[in-house]
Amino acid sequence: MRPLTEEETKTMFEKLSKYIGENIKLLVDRPDGTYCFRLHQDRVYYMRTQAFRTFTVFWKFVPDKWSIGTKCCFSMFGSGSRYADNLKPSCPQFKVWVKPGAEQTFLYGNHVLKSGLGRITENTNQYQGVVVYSMADVPLGFGVAAKSTQECRRVDPMSIVVFHQADVGEFIRNEDALT
Amino acid sequence: PEPNVWAGCSNGSSSLRRSRREKQTLQCQVSKNLWELLPIERAAKKEKKLKESMALSSDDDDDDDDEMEEDGDDDEQKSDADMDEEDGIQTNTDDVDNFRLPSAEESEKEGVLSVDLKTVHQRIKDNIDVLCNFSAKREEGKDRAEYLSLLKKDLCTYYSYNDFLIEKLMDIFPLSELVDFLEANEIQRPVTIRTNTLKTRRRDLAQALINRGVNLDPLGKWSKVGLVIYDSSVPVGATPEYLAGHYMLQGASSFLPVMALSPQEGELVLDMSSAPGGKTSYMAQLMRNTGVIVANDANAERLKSVVGNLHRLGVTNAVVCNYDGRQFPKVMGGFDRVLLDAPCSGTGVIAKDPAVKTSKNEADILRSAHLQKELLLSAIDSVNATSASGGYLVYCTCSITVEENEWVVDYALKKRNVKLVPTGLDFGKEGFTSFKKFRFHPSLRLTRRFYPHSHNMDGFFVAKFKKFSNVIPSASVGKDETTEGAEAIEATDSPKDKPSKGKTTKETVPAKTDAVKQKAKTNGTTAAKKSANVKTKGQQNSQTGPKKAKIAKMDGETVKKAHGKNPAMKTPEQTNASKTVKKDGSRFEKKQTKKGKSPLKMKNRMGKNKFKKMKHKLQKNK
């Protein structure tokens, strides 16, 4: 586990800003303690400094045997951007709400169709990263807007409006890849 | 009898045929019931019906009753029972009046023919009835053992356990409870979920699930986060709420150890065998994601589910690691609280895994008890007794055997400076203080047992310890004299904690030391103390060279000197010992004898951070 290099930090923040935009600041300056980003096995962990210290204990004691996957996984290099949805609901800039009927299909890794679209943030541009919610404001995953808000109004019900990137169903489907 | 043979042939009969036959039987019964039965027979039948309707909620017709009663047995047995329905009534009337043991030939015949489960069931009932009022209902010339052996055999047949396990269970439960327990093992426990308060509230969650067509209820007064699911139109393990981490599927019994542990915000907590993460995430939610939880499991495969669940539930204060629990204080120590959910034989969760019924034997139980003892000692060593808020350890298993629970706990009480404290759970049964050949410490009353039949959750055992000193009592003292000496010191030094402390220092527990202990207590003079102390020292001196030197050194030292030496020595025990010595001088002598031994027995190593912290604290105190 090590801190990120300059380049990595840049890549990560670029990726993050797609989803949460200006709110990145909130991640770094938090009122409830100091947090840091650390890289471990292709993954970036966003963790409280105290947790990190505990972690290093293991590092020092048996460095060759520590097959530790920590918590607080935040973002991943490599296999797309997937990170635990422990973002605060206030964080994301652009949101998409899907209707109850379409929740399940999204959670099985499918794109969101126009017919399943409940609401969408105004002024979403095409190819903007969005966070997908259910109508009850349960965060379900991440996607990329296939159409802008304006276009969404006009397209036919069967066309795709949000491309699927990651969803909470992966907690179960890809359990092996999590660690 | 003939019907039996008949039933044996018609194993593969279709359900249609069966139901028709049942109808016929039913008609037969009705007519017989109304016209042909003698008054006494009628009364007996009435009584039986009443019993059945009490036991089972549905009493529409006999057919239904059979279905319910034979639940869990296969079809073959069902048809057996159905065929015999008519005969059963008449034989039952005989049995109710005076139950008699079957003769040798009868039981021999039974071995050859396929056994009729209905009769066996009735026989179990009657047998227990006799055993409960033995002097009144017994048959002349038969002793209790005969009844019991028949009962054991019948229970094995009817519930398909192996002899060993039935015997164990018969020891644990009174007979009247035994059948309830065995019956409860045939039905699944209700599905329960735990609200993840990190993400939602129970009321909101319940509303969301009800909207999805789930029929649920709060779990009980004792839990504010649990919900029972009666039935559901959607899979409860795949709703968007589940995937978004609003709740965790978790047995009601798994709530208990965490509630007993009650981790506080900002603490350093260890979950020694955490998979699949249910208890860990419950701890995290009690701690509101503050502090640090170290979630360990020996099985790397199972850790994947821990990571998955912790991610899903939004737990951000956990570090997951993969060690054998027994290595633990070496890897990291100084925890405020430790939860040890020890691997066990699973005799409490037979409903979940019926394989336990036949797969376990004496060796398995003892093997797991051994492992549990090792784990418990290393768990205790990982706790920091001087922690401001904690110093607690919870030991739990999903087994109900005494060997894996009370025995293990009692062992730990003898081996380490720990005492039992109330678990904080206001229901459950008290642990055993004596069981067959075992005699346990009286404080084992404070442990709690949970059973499927009385609490409608998996069989479970919870014990909560408080560690009161980081010093590890000297290991394996061969001779009685030394033990006595140590005890005498303990007894005279601290009258408050007499029972538990005395136990903890004792290594071997021969019965006669108790008497000596008593004597030492009553004497209680300084002279006795001194002589005992000298004895101890003498013993040690004769044992090993290095120890001797150590003690000589220690003897001459002042408290302060010992204190100053600490950082160089790097033994947390000493640090603590000297600390306590500083606090009260009267204990000095006792600690000194222990100090002499501790460098050799330095097993309890603390995390480096913890050590630094402690060092810092000490310097401040100076």
Does B208 touch chain A if contact means CB atoms closer than 8 Å?
A: yes
pLDDT grade for B75, boundaries at 50, 70 and 90: very low
**Do B31 and B87 share a domain, yes or no?**
yes
Contacts of B265 in chain A (CB under 8 A): none
Please tell me the total count of domains within chain B: 5
Gyration radius of chain B's alpha carbons: 30
Interatomic CA distance for residues B318 and A51, integer angstroms: 7
Contacts with A61 from chain B: Cβ below 8 Å: 330-332
* Domain shared by B457 and B605, yes or no: no
**pLDDT confidence of residue A136:** 81
Q: So what's the pLDDT on residue A139?
A: 76
Residue type, B169: L
Domain end (from B44, B74, B94):
B94
Q: Choose the final residue of a domain: B94, B123, B157.
A: B94
Residue A123 phi/psi, 5-degree rounding, is 65, 25
In the chain, the amino acid numbered B361 is: N
Residue in B closest to A61 by C-alpha: B331
Residue A178 resides in a domain: no
Q: Which pLDDT score, from 0 to 100, does residue B291 have?
A: 84
- Among the partner-chain residues B240, B268, B308, the one whose CB lies closest to the CB of A103 is B240
Task: Report which listed range, B433-447, B478-492, B580-594, B599-613, is most confident.
Answer: B433-447
How much is the pLDDT for B608? 63
B-chain CB neighbours of A88 within 8 Å are none
Residues B310 and B445 reside in one and the same domain: yes
Residues A75 and A98 in one domain: no
Residue B39 has pLDDT above 80, yes or no: no
Secondary structure of B336-379 in HEC code, one letter for each residue: CEEEEECCCCCCCCCCCCCCHHHHCCHHHHHHHHHHHHHHHHHH
Amino acid (1-letter code) at residue A91? C
CA distance B145 to B132: 13
User: Would the ipTM clear 0.90, i.e. be above it?
Assistant: no
Q: Is residue A13 in a domain?
A: yes
Give the three-state DSSP class for B246: coil
- Does the residue A161 lie in any domain? yes
In a shared domain, residues B353 and B397: yes
* Containing structural domain, residue A44: 2-79
Measured in angstroms, the CA of B236 and the nearest CA of chain A are apart by 13
pLDDT tens-digit map of B498-525:
344 434 344 444 444 444 444 444 444 4
Tell me, yes or no, whether B585 lies in a domain.
yes
Q: What is the mean pLDDT of residues B539-563?
A: 42
Strand partners, B339: B271, B394
pLDDT-derived band of residue A42, with 50, 70 and 90 as boundaries?
low
Q: Are A135 and A68 found together in one domain?
A: no
B487, pLDDT greater than 60:
no
Cross-chain Cβ contact B319/A71 below 8 Å: yes
Which of B410, B404, B397 lies closest to B461 in space, CA to CA? Answer: B397
Q: Give residue B309's pLDDT.
A: 85
Tell me if B194 sits within 8 A of B247, measured CB to CB.
yes
* Of B217, B264, B613, the residue nearest A53 (C-alpha): B613
Q: Which percentage of chain B shows pLDDT scores above 90? A: 30
Contact across the interface for B321 and A178, Cβ inside 8 Å: no
Q: For position A9, what pLDDT does the model report?
A: 78
Answer yes or no: are the C-beta atoms of A125 and A145 closer than 8 Å. Answer: yes
**Shortest Cα distance from A141 to chain B (angstroms)?**
9
Question: A118 φ, ψ to 5°?
Answer: -90, -55
Q: Which comes out higher in pLDDT, residue B510 or B165?
A: B165
A69 near B CB under 8 A? yes
Report residue B563's pLDDT band, with 50, 70 and 90 as the boundaries. Answer: very low
More confident residue, B112 or B619: B619
Strands B337-341 and B268-271: parallel
Residue B9 lies in a domain: yes
Both A132 and A97 in a single domain?
Answer: yes
In a domain, A87, yes or no: no
Are B208 and B234 in the same domain? yes
Give the model's pLDDT for residue B113.
Answer: 60
Residue B473 annotated as binding?
no
Is B297 flagged in the annotation as binding?
yes
pLDDT confidence of residue B323: 84
Is the predicted pLDDT of residue B165 greater than 80, yes or no? yes
Residue B496 inside a domain? The answer is no
Look at A57 and B608 and tell me if their CB atoms are within 8 Å: yes
**pLDDT tier for residue A175 given thresholds of 50, 70 and 90:** low
Domain co-membership, B55 together with B90: yes
Assess whether A41 and A105 both reside in one domain.
no
Q: Any chain B CB within 8 A of the CB of A27?
A: no
Question: Is residue B238 less than 8 Å (CB to CB) from chain A?
Answer: yes
Tell me whether residue A120 is in a domain. Answer: yes
Domain count of chain A? 2
Q: Is A62 on the interface with B (CB under 8 A)?
A: yes
Partners of residue B331 in chain A, C-beta under 8 Å: 58, 61-62
Residues A96 and A169 in one domain: yes
Is residue B490 in a domain?
no
Which domain does B71 fall in, by range?
Answer: 2-94
CA distance B228 to B216: 5
Chain CA centroid to CA B560, Å: 45
Mutation target vs A (from B204, B233, B312; most A CBs, 10 A cutoff): B312
Q: Based on the fold, state whether residues A110 and A149 are members of the same structural domain.
A: yes
pLDDT of residue B482: 38
* This prediction's pTM: 0.65
pLDDT tens sequence across A89-128: 445 678 888 888 888 888 888 898 988 888 888 888 888 8
Average pLDDT over residues B153-179: 90
Domain-ending residue, one of A13, A46, A79? A79
Which pLDDT belongs to residue B459?
A: 92
Q: Which of A28, A18, A34, A51 is nearest to A166 (CA)?
A: A18
B518, part of any domain: yes
β-sheet bridge partners, residue B68: none
pLDDT digits (tens, 9 = 90+) for B314-370: 787 888 888 888 888 887 888 999 999 999 998 999 998 999 998 999 999 999 999
CATH number of the domain that residue A72 is part of? 3.10.450.220
Does A86 fall in a domain? Answer: no
**Which residue do the tokens 């909101």 mark?**
B204
Whether the CB of B170 is below 8 Å from some CB of chain A: the reply is no
Tell if the CB–CB gap between A51 and B316 is shorter than 8 Å. yes
**Structural domain includes residue B494:** no
| Res. B5: pLDDT tops 50 | no
Q: At what angle do helices B572-583 and B588-597 cross, to 10 degrees?
A: 170
3-state secondary structure B463-483: EEEEECCCCCCCCCCCCHHHH
List the CATH number of the domain containing B392: 3.40.50.150
Are B224 and B316 within one domain?
A: no
Residue A179 lies inside a defined structural domain of this protein: no
Residues of chain B with C-beta less than 8 angstroms from the C-beta of A136 = 208
Q: At residue B226, what are phi and psi to the nearest 5 degrees?
A: -90, 150
Say if residue A48 is in the same domain as residue A115.
Answer: no
Same-domain pairing of B134 and B275: no
Which residues of B are catalytically annotated?
398
| CATH number for the domain that contains residue A133 | 2.30.130.10
Above 60 in pLDDT, residue B590? no
My answer on whether A70 and A100 are in the same domain is: no
Return the ∠ at Cα B555 (arms to B552 and B558), rounded to 5°.
135
Q: Could you say which of A79, A106, A129 is where a domain stops? A: A79
Q: Which of A171, A173, A175, A176 to mutate to test the interface with B (most CBs of B within 10 A)?
A: A171
The DSSP line for A20-36 is HGGGHHHHHS-TTS-EE
pLDDT class for A74, splitting at 50, 70, 90? very low
Asked if residue B366 and residue B269 are part of one domain, the reply reads: yes
Q: Which of B461, B477, B493 is the last residue of a domain?
A: B477
Q: Is A53 on the interface with B (CB under 8 A)?
A: yes
- Is B492 part of any domain? no
B333 to chain A: closest CA residue = A57
Do B316 and A66 count as a contact with CB atoms less than 8 A apart? no
Q: Identify whether residues B542 and B595 lie together within a single domain.
A: yes
* Residue A47 sits in the same domain as residue A111: no
The pLDDT tens digits for A112-168 are 898 888 888 888 888 887 888 888 877 787 788 888 888 888 888 888 988 887 777
For residue A40, the surrounding DSSP H or E stretch is strand A35-40
> Cβ separation of A85 and B244 shorter than 8 Å?
yes
Structural tokens at position B100:
């008699």
Of B243, B317, B322, the CB nearest to A51: B317
The pLDDT score that the predictor gives to residue B621 is 64
Minimal-distance CA residue of chain B relative to A106: B240
Q: Are residues B299 and B170 in the same domain?
A: no
B563 and B455 both lie in a single domain: no
Q: Does residue B491 fall inside a structural domain?
A: no
Residue B294's H or E segment, with its range, is strand B292-296
- Under an 8 A CB cutoff, do A69 and B608 touch? no
Pull the structure tokens for residue B307: 């990571």
Average pLDDT value for chain B:
72
* Among candidates B237, B305, B322 on the partner chain, residue whose Cβ is nearest the Cβ of A67: B322
For residues B490 and B502, the answer to whether their CB atoms sit within 8 Å is yes
Domain termination site, one of A47, A79, A111: A79
